[in-house]
Amino acid sequence: MNKKMTKKELRKMSYSWSWNRSLAWNYQKMMSCGYLSTMIPFLDEKYKDDEEARLYAYDVHSQFFNSEPNLSNVILGMDIAIEEELGSEGIDTAAGVKTSLMGPFAGIGDTLFGVIGGTIFGSIAVATAVEGSYIGIALWTLWSFFVMFFLRPKLMEMGYKQGLKLVTTLSGELKRFTNAASVLGLTVLGGMVATMVGVKFGTFTLFGTEVDLQVSIADKIMPKLGSAIVVAVCYYLLGRKGMNANKLTWIVLLGMLVLSFLGIVIVP
């Protein structure tokens, strides 16, 4: 029978996440190193008799991750519960859940905790400080400690219980849930491509005739065709041996400069 995580162990992992979440933060994978570092004690114990599964879990959990730090505890709890119950067969499922939830949780968490912690308590701290009182900053500090030592462990425990419920009572629907999570993740990614990647085709002269590539071709196929092509090329190149984010950045930069010089692409 699989060993179940105790509240004490979950609380300890929550504290580790609070400390590790920005560990080796970078623009390529953002919070992935912190996520993996938090998961390592669990992974080492879970897969201590299966080295191949342990290394695979390391690889999966070192992929890109970025979400709101507090609600990330829910994701971590669900991840632990899924792998605890399913073992190596649940690694990809846990990864799908993580990918699908990190975007929505980032928006919800940033809004919620930004309003409470930053706007409300921050405003009180500033207003009382102007009057020479420390009450506001004391309340803000107490809120921060409340979030770290009480709320985050509770959120991780909640995620763990929901993840456990997913793989026990809904085990028959798990494949459908995994597919739905993957679709949601791709939908979020598609939305990011359409809104955050700006590539617009320009006018190209062919045999003495000017052709507006964006209006005449791209818009009739897909308005954000240029953005989709660039992302697809980047995704393909990142899968090649020896390619990394730094090299890819230079390739995209130089490629866009050349295409812009030729008039094939323009600034949106």
pLDDT of residue 179: 66
- DSSP assignments along 160-222, one per residue: HHHHHHHHHTTGGGHHHHHHHHHHHHHHHHHHHHHHH---EE-EEEETTEEEEIIIIIIHHH-
Same domain, 73 and 132: yes
Which residues share a beta bridge with 204? 211
How many whole angstroms from its chain centre is CA 68? Answer: 9
Residues 114 and 238 in one domain: no
Q: Does 96 lie in the same domain as 47?
A: yes
Q: Is 178 within a domain?
A: yes
Residue 95 located in a structural domain:
yes
Is 248's pLDDT higher than 50? yes
Task: Tell me the pLDDT tens digit for each residue of 97-123.
Answer: 888 788 777 777 777 777 676 667 777
Residue 127 placed within a domain? yes
Structural domains counted in the chain:
2
Mean of pLDDT values over 208-228: 73
Domain end marker among 167, 189, 211: 189
Residue that finishes a domain, picked among 168, 189, 210: 189
CA torsion sign for 89, 92, 94, 100 is negative
Q: Does residue 235 have a pLDDT over 60?
A: yes
Q: Tell me the residue range of the domain where 239 lies.
A: 197-266
**Predicted pLDDT of residue 242:** 78
Q: What percent of the chain has pLDDT over 90?
A: 0
Q: Which of residues 122, 154, 189 is at a domain's end?
A: 189
DSSP string, 26-52: BTTTBTHHHHHHHHHHHHHHHTTT-HH
Exposed e or buried b per residue across 105-139, where buried means at least 16 C-beta atoms within 10 angstroms of its C-beta: bbeebbeebeeeeeeebbebbeebeeeeeeebbee
Same domain, 42 and 118: yes
